[in-house]
Amino acid sequence: MDRRVFLESLAALGALGISLEASAAEKAGKVLNDFSFRKKKAAKPFGFDENLVCIISDLHVHPDWNQERCLARTVDRILDLNPRPRNVLCLGDIAYLTGKPEEYAAAKRYLDRLEEAGIRLTMTMGNHDRRAEFAEAFPELAAKSGLPDRFVYRVETPLADFLLLDSLQEGDDTTTWITEGALDEGQVRWLEEQLSAGTPGKPVFVMAHHPIEELKVIRNLLVQSPSCKGFIYGHLHLWRTGWIRINYRDRTILRSLCVPSTGHWGDIGFVTLSLEKDRAVAHNYEEEFFFPGPLKEGEEKPAIWTEIEREHKDALCIFPY
C-alpha cells in the first residue's frame, strides 16, 4: 500500500487513538496526571553529559490519543537518564497529520518539561507539520533558525556538531499534506556553508526528517564532505541502519540511521547518541512495536511484534570518525 494512502486511511481511524471518556478539562488533567507527572520519589541528583544527545522523531501528537501518552512516557524516560543529555533533537512530524495548533499545544505540554529540566530542545519539520503553526507554539526556537523561510539549525557540542535541515514541502491546502520531502536551493547553499564553517577536523552529523532517497540533491555533498560522519533521519518509523554511496566504484560510504517514532506506529522509542573522540554510538531505547496501531483491550499480541521488539531493543549503530 502506498504510504500516502496508508496515512490517509489512518486519519479516519480515530479508534486507534485511545480517547479518554471525560470532559475536555478532565481529559487534559487525566493525561497529565497519568502520563506526564511521575509519583514523587526521593530526590536524586542529575548531572548533564554535554556529549550525550537524544534524538526523537515522528511524535504525531493528537490530543488525548495514544500518541500523546507515548510522548509523555518518552519524556519521562529521557528525564530518568542519569546523566541527562544536554540536547534533544527532534526530526519532525510533531503534529498528527495536518499541523493543527492544538496538536502543537499538546506536544508543547510535554516538551517544555525537557527545557525546564535544563535540556536544550531543537526541532525541525516533517511532512505533517505546518511552519506557521509551529512558530506560533515555539516562537523562540523558530526565531533561532539559520534561514528566514525554513527551520534549519546548527547545534554544537564539545565533540561534534549537528546540522538540522527542513525537508517539509508545504502546500496551500491546510487539510492535507505532501508526503515527499525536498530541499530548496537556499538550504543546499546553507548546508554547504555549514559543512565548511565548523572547527577543522570536528565531526558533523546532518539530520532531516526524510531519508536520503528523497533528498538526493545533497547525497554526493554529504558523502564527499570530510567533516560529515553520518546522516540521521526519521519518517519511516523504524530503527534502520544503512549507508549512503555515490556509485558502486567509489569506496567512500557514509553511515545512515533511521530513528523510531515516539508513539504513532512501527518501532516506538527514542535514540541516544554518545559522542566519543573517535566515534559516536547510537543506542535504541525500544519501548514496543505495533502496527498499524496499539493493541485493543483483550487482543493478543502478534508474535512478530515481540520478535521485532527483541531484535531492536538496545540495538547499536556505530559512526566511526
pLDDT digits (tens, 9 = 90+) for 228-271: 999 999 999 999 999 999 999 999 999 999 999 999 999 999 99
Reference 163, options 189, 191, 125; nearest CA is: 191
DSSP annotation of 69: H
pLDDT at 31 over 70: no
Q: Report the distance separating Cα 130 and Cα 138, nearest Å.
A: 12
Average pLDDT over residues 175-196: 97
Q: How many residues would you count in the chain? A: 321
Residue 23 lies in a domain: no
pLDDT at 30 over 90: no
Classified as helix, coil or strand, 234 is coil
Average pLDDT over residues 285-305: 96
Residue 94 lies in a domain: yes
Residue 2 lies in a domain: no
Which has the higher per-residue pLDDT, 129 or 6? 129
Residue 21 lies in a domain: no
Over 172-233, what HEC string results? CCCCCCCCCCCCCHHHHHHHHHHHHHCCCCCCEEEEECCCHHHCHHHHHHHHHCCCEEEEEE
Average pLDDT over residues 189-212: 96
DSSP annotation of 316: E
Number of H helices, E strands in the chain: 9, 12
Which has the higher per-residue pLDDT, 305 or 199? 305
> What is the pLDDT, as a whole number, of residue 32?
41
Q: What is the sign of the dihedral through the CA atoms of 96, 91, 146 and 213?
A: negative
Residue 8 lies in a domain: no
Classified as helix, coil or strand, 79 is helix
Average pLDDT over residues 195-200: 90
**CB distance 152 to 166 below 8 Å:** yes
**CB distance 155 to 164 below 8 Å:** yes
Q: Report the distance separating Cα 196 and Cα 210, nearest Å.
A: 23
| pLDDT band (50, 70, 90) for residue 285 | very high
pLDDT, tens digit, for every residue of 110-149?
999 999 999 999 999 999 999 999 999 999 999 999 999 9
For 213, the domain range is 46-320
**CB distance 20 to 31 below 8 Å:** yes
Residue 37 lies in a domain: no
Q: What is the sign of the dihedral through the CA atoms of 142, 146, 150 and 151?
A: negative
pLDDT at 26 over 70: no
> What is the pLDDT, as a whole number, of residue 43?
55
DSSP annotation of 61: B
pLDDT, tens digit, for every residue of 99-114?
999 999 999 999 999 9
Reference 116, options 231, 37, 211, 202; nearest CA is: 37
> What is the pLDDT, as a whole number, of residue 46?
84
Name the average pLDDT for the chain: 89
CATH code of the domain containing 145:
3.60.21.10
Phi, psi of 40 (to 5 degrees): -65, 130
DSSP annotation of 157: -
Number of domains in the chain: 1
Q: Report the distance separating Cα 32 and Cα 38, nearest Å.
A: 9
Residue 84 lies in a domain: yes
> What is the pLDDT, as a whole number, of residue 44?
66
Residue 273 lies in a domain: yes
Location of C-alpha cell 488525548: 64
